Structure 1
Amino acid sequence: MLSTVALASTHFHPGFGWGLWFVPVIFWVLIIGLIITLVATRRRRWRQMGWGGPWGGPWASAQAARSAEGVLAERFARGDIEEAEYRARLEVLRSQQPQPPQG
């Protein structure tokens, strides 16, 4: 394969000039680079927005804590738990919630 490319690049084609063999190569390198860039950008954006599933980073655990607080609030509103139990459980949930980095 490489010998064919090398042979083709040394042969002069009237009307095409020297070195036009690299145009399709550059085209495909640019297309493949564009695809890789789009995939990497999209994955980074998904991770930042929390769409990464269980691997979504610190935002995933913060969303789970808010969800647990919502369930606890609903149970308190329905009368399933007393106020003292609600406040105790809410304190436990908030103490286990990860803190944002200081900086």
Structure 2
Amino acid sequence: MMYGWSGGIGVGGWIAMGLMMLLFWGGIATLVILLLRGNHAGGRSFYRPPDDESERILNERFARGEIDETELTAGRAALRRRQ
């Protein structure tokens, strides 16, 4: 006995294994790309545009009482017009 070396899976088996490996790694790569890109139809993404920092600062100033609600609303509107 040759401990599994007799017979083997043949050429068709190797082709099938190669295709399955391509499908597996292609699926992993697609999943990683989709997770990194995020959903641009309103979902959150790992990438934040620079204006998010501006809005965060604006919200912090409102929370500390440095600006009132009118200034907060005007500031947010100005930031959205810039985008």
| Superposition TM-score, scaled by structure 2 size | 0.51
Give, in angstroms, the shift of residue 42 of structure 1.
Answer: 0.7
1:78-97 residue CA offsets vs partner (Å, 9 max, x unmatched): 12235665444323212123
Of 2, 14, 28, which residue of structure 2 is paired with 1:25?
Answer: 14
| Higher Rg of the two aligned structures | 1
* Residue-pair matches, total: 71
TM-score normalized with structure 1 length: 0.45
Percent sequence identity is 30
Give the corresponding residue for 1:74.
60
In the TM superposition, residue 76 of structure 1 has moved relative to its aligned partner by 1.9
Corresponding residue SS for 1:81: coil
* Residue-by-residue CA offset, 1:34-70 (whole Å, 9 max, x unaligned): 233222321342113423x4xxxxxx33xx5455334
User: Normalized per residue, which structure has more helix?
Assistant: 1
Stretches of structure 2 lacking an aligned partner (at least 5 in a row)? 1-5, 40-44
**1:48 corresponds to which letter in structure 2?**
G
C-alpha distance in structure 2 between counterparts of 1:71 and 1:23, whole Å: 61
1:89 aligns with 2:75: yes
Q: CA deviation at 1:75?
A: 0.6
Is residue 48 from structure 1 mapped to residue 25 from structure 2 by the alignment?
no
Aligned to 1:36: 25
| C-alpha separation in 2, matches of 1:90 and 1:42 | 34
